[in-house]
Every structure is written in structure tokens, then in C-alpha cells.
Amino acid sequence: MPFLTEHERQKAERYRFEADKIRSAVGAFLIRTMASRSFPETEIVIERTASGKPYLAGRSGYEFSLSHSGDLIVLATDVCPVGVDVERIRREKDWRIFHRYLSEAEMTMIENAEDQASEFFRVWTIREAFSKEEGEGLAIFDKDFTVDYERKIIRYKGLELSFSTTDYPEYKISICSPHKTDDVSIHCLSEKDWEDLFPVSLN
């Protein structure tokens, strides 16, 4: 908390459950710390667009997206707009209630999958990653939105974006970007990495 702004601290404290407070605080700290590595000796100011998408004020060429679920917090950065979504695979969740957001082809693809829950969250994280890349909500998933799962391309109103999905034990992580996401490098922070991120000793 000491490394966050007053707004970020207040946002974290508004969460009812302690786990959600921790995710909010750690996420804000991770964004601020990684951005400061690209812009050392510069005040990091994070603002939001009218639709709520966060961005680094006064700094072009540095885009980021944050997502958390369960015990994972994922930060994606790029030189162009990027979206990331992580979801813990909840097998007790009835994915059919989301049918209005999915196409008939996607519904069939999930129903035919050996692991329906895993397949649903793959589809869902791809859609969420796209919505975060565009800075819009799920309402954009209309008839103009199509996903080519074979070529890993999303098309929407003249846009053509790349996506990829990574399997993590009992999680799905999807990223969406105008860049080819096959080249994305994923780094899991170790305990030592986290210690190195803090500007002062943890002791």
C-alpha cells in the first residue's frame, strides 16, 4: 500500500474481501513498477478513458492491460493497444448462461469439446482480451464480431487482430493485439523477482 497513490489505495480498500484487496493493490503496484522501468525518473500517472480503460498519462508507445483471477495476476505490455484476460477454470459454473454472447458455432465447439469448461473459458478469455484491447465492454460482441479460431484472428468492423491462449494449470490466459501474438514472451515472476521489484527491503 505505501507504494500506491491515494486513489489506488482507496480503490483497493473498497473491496469487501481481503483477497480482492490484495489483487487490486498488487496489480496497481505491478503496473506502476513496470512502467517506471521504461520511464525512470518520471512520475507515473495512470488515468482512464471515458470507458474505463487505464493508460499512462503523457506517454505514448507504452500500452498495458491487467487481469486477475484466483491466485494469478497477469500484466501485458506492448507498444500498441493490448488486451489480456485470465480466468480460473470453474467447472461448477454453467457456461450455457452466456449463450447470448456466443455464436452458434462457438456453442457447438464447446459442446463437442472433451473438456467443456476448459473450452468455454478459452473462448471467453479471447473475447474479454479483445474487449480490453479495444477498451469497450461486452456489448461490442454483435454480428460484426467474428473469431477465426484456426488462424487465430479476430475481425470487427474492419479491424483484424491477433490472439493467442496460454494454458496454466486450471487457468486460461488470452492476449489480443494488432501484433502477432505468437511472438509473445511470458515470464512468471518468482519470489526473488517480486523482492527485486520493491524499491526498499521487504524485511
**157-202 per-position pLDDT tens digit:** 888 999 999 999 999 999 999 988 777 777 888 888 888 887 654 4
At 154, which helix (H) or strand (E)?
strand 153-156
Same domain, 76 and 138: yes
Whether 49 is covered by a domain: the verdict is no
Same domain, 5 and 89: no
CA 137, CA 141: separation in Å to the nearest integer?
8
List pLDDT tens digits, range 44-78: 888 888 877 888 888 888 899 999 999 899 999 98
pLDDT at 136 over 80: no
Whether 55 is covered by a domain: the verdict is no
Same domain, 139 and 182: yes
Same domain, 18 and 107: no
List pLDDT tens digits, range 78-135: 888 999 999 999 988 888 888 888 888 999 999 999 999 999 999 999 999 999 998 8
Whether 130 is covered by a domain: the verdict is yes
State the pTM of this model: 0.88
CATH number of 116's domain: 3.90.470.20
Same domain, 92 and 149: yes
User: CA angle, corner 37, sides to 33 and 42, nearest 5?
Assistant: 90
Same domain, 66 and 156: yes
What residue numbers bound the domain in which 93 lies?
A: 61-188
pLDDT at 28 over 80: yes
Whether 90 is covered by a domain: the verdict is yes
Whether 56 is covered by a domain: the verdict is no
Long-range contacts, 146-154 (Cβ 8 Å, 24+): 146/103, 147/103, 147/106, 147/123, 149/109, 152/181, 152/182, 154/126, 154/130
Same domain, 107 and 133: yes
**Number of domains the chain is built from:** 2
